[in-house]
Structure 1
Amino acid sequence: MSAEGPWGSRDGSAPAPDPARRLSGPRAAPREDKGQHPVWAVVSTLLMAGFLWLVTGSWVVAVAVLFGLFVHEYGHVLAMNRVGMGPARIYVIPFLGGLAKGQREPKSEWHGVLVSLAGPAFGLLAMLPFVGLWAATGGDAWLMGAFFIAMINLLNLLPAPPLDGSKALGPVLTRVHPRLEQVALLAVGGLAVWWGLSTGRLILAVFLGLAVIGHLKRGVWRTAWGRLSWPEAGRSLALYLLTAAVCAAAAIGALLPLTGGAVEPALEMGLRFFGVGGR
């Protein structure tokens, strides 16, 4: 497999033509997605950085979240390229986050699950430089940056459309019954919208609300790639729970030095991020 990057193919190779369609006459090759225009990519990144600084009040946390965003999306890119969806591209969406987009759909639901979980799992690596800077300087702000990186990856595992969790857990629910995915994800999506509104995260609430409405307009889900087998569903659920546990542990671990190593106060600090507990 050729090496691919998030903004282009290094060898310029094209996929082999489909022999089954050679007799149907010449046809144009699928148009490759060239990705976000460099100028707009820079503008989007600057807008995102300014927005994060405004809402967090800390340039360290803003840098951490922005860096974590790119590492998270690059995890999706690596997985997409690995399973034959590439060359994948990264898009920065001002005020909302990022998006990794492949050139084609996954070949199976199992590949889709792997791609969805690759972002949160790989995204935790973005914590390492901030933990290192804390160790070198003793500045608590660096730990908060690491904490926010972990929490963003954990939040992405929420099984609400269009977050990564819905794409990882949804196929497992469909394996049980197709309607179970629709009911469960739309219910969780509604709760996520309520959570965003009740905790003052209005932009997130609007974003999730639009996603839920979009899913309500859809017909039958997941007809293109078939369904997971029962063994694949078991592996998918195990990977989802493991990734969520690691993200949660990483978030609490980042707070432990701030609480003298006490787990309970660190857990309380983490819950306050979700608007649970006292201020």
Structure 2
Amino acid sequence: MSETENSVRRPGPWDPRPEDPAPEAVRPARGAPQEDKGQHPVWAVVSTLLMAGFLWYLTGSWIVAGAVLFGLFVHEYGHVLAMNRVGMGPARIYIIPFLGGLAKGQREPKSEWHGVLVSLAGPAFGLLAMIPFVAAGVILRSPEWLLGAFSIAMVNLVNLAPAPPLDGAKALGPVLTRIHPRLEQIALLAVGGLAVWWGLSTGRLILAVFLGIAVLGHLRRGVWRAAWGRLSWPEAGRSLGLYLLTGTLCAAAAIGALLPMTGGAVEPAFETGLRFIGFGGR
């Protein structure tokens, strides 16, 4: 026997109780920002392969190219960890062919101090990528593996240059603007100009063009420090100290990676590092 439309049906055990309001569909707030899903998997693979091929073209070694690519991922993952820690996540990693990588959060940092921490987390954490290459170089007595470790350290060190849009500008810029916003603008534009000249004079044309576009963009923006506040003087002191400490660690790691090749002699290792960034004899 079936029930008719006019019959009264007794509520079943899964029916909502009369006192419970009917559930409403959860709708996203109108105008709410969409969460960044990151690179499409296919494009991520293609970008990584293009970057690997470009690095091999520059270095002539699959080991060194693989080291730089691995170091790039570890560097960006350091930014991701810091972003997630300070409430900017979930952060995503993007590989940009011929240029490098980018870690992108879902929201701006809550303070300049958080921004400094995120900027320095990449170079500091990125040094961990050296460990397997140093170990392989020492065990196999292979200079190529040691050069891979050295290249990882140098990528992190160069990234600390206070030239927009590198991490060094984002870490040191807030310290300069604590004194005066114009000081940050003048100093970073001057360093950015020198970085462009360095790229052109050492044959790093793609890097020079990339930095030049970034410098022009910041010049058009004017005083570009964001409106989420300034560092306090104690925070500025800590930021400067962390910046110098991170730079010292990167430089020491780069020289240390070459010491097994030079019999422990620091001076030849230092000269090799200078040649890598375009200074000193060939």
**Matched residues, number:** 254
In the alignment, residue 264 of structure 1 is paired with which amino acid? E
Q: Does 1:74 pair with 2:77?
A: yes
After superposition, the Cα gap between the structure-2 partners of 1:223 and 1:75, relative to the gap in structure 1 and judged at 3 Å, is closer
1:64-97 CA-partner distances (Å, limit 9, x unpaired): 0000000000000000000000000000000000
Deviation at 1:28, TM superposition (A): 4.1
Alpha-carbon distance between aligned partners in 2 of 1:43 and 1:139, rounded to the nearest angstrom: 30
- C-alpha RMSD of the superposition: 0.8
Secondary structure, aligned partner of 1:217: helix
Amino acid at match of 1:53: W
* Code of the aligned partner of 1:268: E
What is residue 190 of structure 1 aligned with on the other side? Answer: 193
> For the residues of structure 2 that align with 1:51 and 1:31, how far apart are their CA atoms?
33
Q: Which of the pair has more CA radius of gyration?
A: 2
Does residue 1:97 correspond to 2:88, yes or no? no
Distance 1:203 1:163 in 2: 15
User: What stretches of structure 1 move > 6 A for 4+ residues in a row?
Assistant: none
Distance 1:61 1:225 in 2: 40
Partner of 2:154: 151
**What amino acid maps onto 2:100 in structure 1?**
G
2:216 corresponds in structure 1 to 213
What do the CA deviations read for 1:9-32 (whole angstroms, capped 9, x no partner)? xxxxxxxxxxxxxxxxx5343210
**Structure 2 counterpart of 1:226:** 229
Amino acid at match of 2:167: D
Q: 1:238 aligns with which of 232, 237, 241?
A: 241
- 2:177 is equivalent to residue 174 of structure 1: yes
Runs of 5+ in structure 1 lacking a partner? 1-25
Q: What is the TM-score of this pair, normalised by structure 1?
A: 0.90
Partner residue in 1 for 2:47: 44
Q: Which position in structure 2 is the counterpart of 1:269?
A: 272
Deviation for aligned residue 1:140: 1.1
Which amino acid in the other structure matches residue 213 of structure 1? L
Mapped contact 2:56–2:65 kept (Cα < 8 A): yes
Q: 1: distance between equivalents of 2:140 and 2:277?
A: 29
- How far 1:134 moved relative to its partner? 1.3
- Partner SS state of residue 221, structure 1: coil
Deviation at 1:127? 0.1
